[in-house]
Amino acid sequence: MSHEYVPEIAVDREGKEHEVQGWQDDIYGGKLGFWLFMFTEVMMFGSMFLVLTYYFTLHHQDFLNASAGLNRTLGGTNTVVLLFSALTMGLGLLKMRAGDVKGAKLMIWATIFLALVFLGIKAVEWNAEIHHGIFLTLPALQAGNPDSLPFGQILFFGMYFTMTGLHGFHIIIGIGIMIWLLKRINAGKVRPDHHILHFNIALYWDLVHLIWVFVFPYFYMIGAGDIGGVAHGH
Amino acid sequence: MGTNTTVDYKKEYAGYWKVLIGLLILTAITLVQPGMFLTDYTFATQMLIGTIKAWMILMYYMHLKGEKLIIWFTWFSIFLVAYFFLLVGIDVANFQFGDVSHITSPAQ
C-alpha cells in the first residue's frame, strides 16, 4: 500500500501558508511528546507503588521492621546527591539557553559525576545487604527454608530491590543519554537556538529525581523505627 | 517556558538556587521528623513532605509553571494513579482471602 505525499502546511502570523520542511524547531511539540512518554513512566512506577502499598497494608509490622534495617544514612546521602544533580542539570540547560555552551557542558559533566556517585553509594548499599544474606536469589528472601525472613519482609525486600533497581537502571540510562547529549552539542546539533534535546533530557533527569522523592521515604523512612540506626538488624 | 527561547539568566539562576534550598530544607525535615514531631503519623507525614517536594520539582525544575495543556495532562495522569489506589484501597480494606492468598502467606 503506497501513501500519496501530502505536504504539511503551517500558517504564519500574517496568515500566509508555508509548506513545512521539518519539525526540528517545534519546541512545544517536542516537549509535549516527551511529557507523554513521562506519563507512561508515572503509570509504571505508579503501579509499583500501588503493589508496594498493597503489601504494606497486609504486612504492616513486617514492613516497618524491614524498613528499620535499611541504611538511612546512605539513602539520605543519595537523596542530597540527586538533589544537587537536579540543580546542575537545570543550570546546564539555563546556561545553554543563555548562550554559554561551555558552561552547559561543564554542568552536564557535573550531573554525570553526581549520577555516578549515586550509583556508587547504591552499590555499597546493595553489597552490604548481599553480605547480610539479603538479595533476591539468596535463601533469606526465599520462602519455606530455615533462613527465610518473615513473609512480609520477603515482600518488602523484593519490592526494595525491584524498585531501587529499576530506578538505578533509569540513572544508568540517564548517564547514557547525557553522554549522547554532549556528543550532539559537540557536533553543533544542540545549540542555544536549538536546545529541545537538552530540555527533554533535563526533564527526564527531573523525573528520575521525582521518583526518588517517593522511593526514599517509602523504603528508608517508612515508620522510622530504630531512628538513626544504620546497622542491619538481621 | 513557552516557545520563546530568550532567558533572563540572573532571575532564573536565582530561582534554581531558591528551589534547591527549599528542597534541602524539606529533605532535612524528612530526616528529622520521625524523632521530632507527628511521630505517630510518620508515614503520612513523609508522604506529605514528598508531595510538596514533588510539586516544587514539577512547577519550577520541570517548568510546569505557566503551562496549561501539560498541567492538565499531569493532573489526569495523577488522577488515574489515584483512582487505581482508591480501587485497590477499597479492596484491601475488605480483604477476604487471608487464609488462601499467596499475598498474605507463602505458598506451601
Is A132 domain-assigned? Answer: yes
Is A229 domain-assigned? Answer: no
Q: What is the pLDDT of residue B30?
A: 94
A9 bridge partner residues? A19
Q: 525491584: which residue's cell?
A: A162
B39 bridge partner residues? none
Number of alpha carbons in the 13 Å side-chain half-sphere of residue A222: 23
Instruction: Measure the CA dihedral A220/A223/A228/A232, to 10°.
Output: -60
Residue A203 contacts B where some CB pair is shorter than 8 Å: yes
Could you tell me the CA-to-CA distances from A149 to A16, A42, A134 in Å, in that order? 71, 31, 9
Q: 519539525: which residue's cell?
A: A23
Q: List the CATH number of the domain containing A170.
A: 1.20.120.80
A27, A76, A80: residue with CB nearest B3: A27
Is A225 domain-assigned? Answer: no
Q: Identify the DSSP state of B58.
A: I
Residue A44 contacts B where some CB pair is shorter than 8 Å: no
CB contact under 8 A, B58 and A210: yes
CA B65 – CA A94 distance, rounded (Å): 16
- What is the distance in angstroms between the Cα of A152 and the nearest Cα belonging to chain B? 8
More confident residue, B102 or B79: B79
Total count of domains within chain A: 1
Q: With 70 as the cut, is the pLDDT of residue A204 above it?
A: yes
Is A12 domain-assigned? Answer: no
CA A97 – CA A120 distance, rounded (Å): 31
A117-173: pLDDT as tens digits? 999 999 999 999 999 889 988 888 888 888 889 989 999 999 999 999 999 999 999
Lowest mean pLDDT among A37-46, A221-230, B80-89, B93-102: A221-230
Is A18 domain-assigned? Answer: no
More confident residue, A70 or A20: A70
- What is the distance in angstroms between the Cα of B65 and the nearest Cα belonging to chain A? 14
CB contact under 8 A, B62 and A154: no
- What is the distance in angstroms between the Cα of A58 and the nearest Cα belonging to chain B? 7
CB contact under 8 A, B70 and A222: no
- What residues make up the domain containing A114? 27-220
CA A219 – CA A49 distance, rounded (Å): 11
CA torsion through residues A186, A191, A195, A198, sign:
positive
Yes or no: say if A83 and A209 are a contact pair by the CB < 8 Å rule.
yes
Percent of chain A topping pLDDT 70: 95
CB contact under 8 A, A203 and B24: no
- Name the pLDDT band for A7 (thresholds 50, 70, 90): confident
Amino acid at B37: F
Residue A36 contacts B where some CB pair is shorter than 8 Å: yes
Is A3 domain-assigned? Answer: no
Which has the closest alpha carbon to A124: A196, A73, A170, A162? A73
Write out the three cell numbers for B13.
539562576
Is A167 domain-assigned? Answer: yes
